[in-house]
C-alpha cells in the first residue's frame, strides 16, 4: 500500500489524491488520509504537536513521518514528540508546510512508507 500524493496545498486548504475531502489540517499514511482535528488531543500552536497526534500514523507502519509546521511555522514541535518517533524507529522531518508537502510527496513517489501531519495555515 502506497502513501497518497498530496495533490494541492494553499492557505487553509489541502487536497489528497484519490480523496474528495478538502482538508484544513490533515494526517496521511500509506493507504489513507483524514482530517487532523486538534481538538481530539488538545493540540495548540504551543506546545505544539504531541505524540498523541501521531499515534494513528505510527500504527500504520510508517518508516518516516513528515510534520508540516504551518505556512509561517507557527506550530511548535517539542523534542518529546521527535523522541517519541525516534523510539519507534521512525525517521522524522519537521519543516515549513510547503517544504514538508514537497518532501512527503518525493518520499511517497520513491515508494517510502511515509506518513505525515500537516498544518495548512499559520
Return the CATH number of the domain spanning residue range 6-118: 3.40.1230.10
Percentage above 90 pLDDT, the chain: 99
Tell me what pLDDT residue 40 has: 96
Residue 113: pLDDT above 90?
yes
Percentage above 70 pLDDT, the chain: 100
Residue 1: pLDDT above 90?
no
Record the pTM: 0.97
- Residue of 55, 18, 17 whose CA lies nearest to 36: 55
Treating both helix axes as pointing N-terminal to C-terminal, what angle do 51-58 and 79-87 enclose, rounded to 10 degrees?
20
Residue 4's pLDDT band (cuts 50, 70, 90)? very high
- Chain CA centroid to CA 97, Å: 9
Partner residues linked to 35 by β-bridges: 26
Q: How many H helices and E strands in the chain?
A: 3, 8
How many whole angstroms separate alpha carbon 94 and alpha carbon 68? 6
Amino acid at each position: 500500500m502506497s502513501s497518497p500524493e498530496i495533490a494541492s496545498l494553499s492557505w487553509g486548504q489541502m487536497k489528497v489524491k484519490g480523496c474528495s475531502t478538502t482538508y484544513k489540517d490533515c494526517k496521511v499514511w500509506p493507504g489513507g488520509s483524514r482530517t487532523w482535528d486538534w481538538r481530539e488531543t488538545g493540540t495548540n500552536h504551543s506546545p505544539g504537536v504531541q505524540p498523541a497526534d501521531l499515534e494513528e500514523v505510527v500504527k500504520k507502519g510508517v518508516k518516516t513521518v513528515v510534520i508540516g509546521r504551518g505556512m509561517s511555522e507557527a506550530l511548535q514541535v517539542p523534542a518529546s514528540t521527535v523522541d517519541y518517533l525516534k523510539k519507534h524507529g521512525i525517521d522524522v522531518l519537521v519543516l515549513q508546510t510547503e517544504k514538508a508537502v514537497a518532501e512527503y510527496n518525493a518520499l511517497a513517489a520513491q515508494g517510502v512508507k511515509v506518513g505525515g501531519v500537516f498544518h495548512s495555515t499559520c
